[in-house]
Copies of this chain bind each other. A is one copy, B any other.
């Protein structure tokens, strides 16, 4: 967003990709593009030795990933300084091969590790919430009823440096066993697409207003 990213994420014992190494990448530019396109991130935490996976919305500012929640919640103070894993996946298609074994999916995913911190400065918190709204609803912040102090206090904003992690990508036709290519079955990719439907106005709208600008890379399809 701010400047063209370059370089690689840190490869550690934790973030080194074990399965499907050919699909792995540590390239920041790729990682950022997946983070920016995804609308849901899955936050993995450990509570009393047990795993929890909490879905959340997220956004990015430079080399940090952010999320928010109730300021006293499990996703905010509950993970302050704790080890977490944040995973995002974009499913791009089903890969239909000649054998069951070679079926696959085309996807772009990111897995990040780190210890989140709370944004404590109120001005920075407000700035980040504006970035969040900009991410899911471009050109909207200035038209909204301004945020008040009570709302700002009730909202916790967390961030984590995008530092240790990896991306995995598959974007290819099926790869079959050499002797299977003549098998008489359709083979190929069934692409999965996301698109915005017709905006559904709130039944309590009292005036005519401009329809919203949809976010993300699917703008043209509305």
Contacts and interface: CB of A to CB of B under 8 A. Distances in A.
Given A39-B91, A103-B137, A109-B55, A145 B98 contact: yes
Given A52-B111, A188-B202, A192-B197, 9 more contacts: A42-B89, A44-B52, A53-B86, A55-B89, A143-B185, A145-B183, A184-B207, A190-B196, A191-B198
Do most interface residues of chain A lie in helix, strand or loop, or is the interface mixed?
mixed
Nearest to A94: B136
Nearest to A90: B40
Nearest to A187: B202
Interface string A105-120: 1010101010000000
| Copies of this chain assembled into the complex | 2
A18 interface: yes
Of A39, A43, A100, A101, the most chain B CB neighbours within 10 A belong to A100
A165 to B, nearest CB: 11
A14 to B, nearest CB: 7
A148 to B, nearest CB: 8
A155 interface: yes
A212 B194 contact: no
Contacts of A51: 44-46, 51-52, 83-85
Interface of A: 14, 18-19, 39-40, 42-46, 49-55, 57, 70, 73-74, 83-87, 89, 91, 93-94, 96, 98-101, 103, 105, 107, 109, 111, 113, 129-130, 133, 136-137, 140-141, 143-145, 147, 151, 154-155, 173-174, 176-177, 180-207, 209-212, 214-215
B202 A193 contact: no
Contacts of A214: 190
Nearest to A104: B57
A212 B186 contact: yes
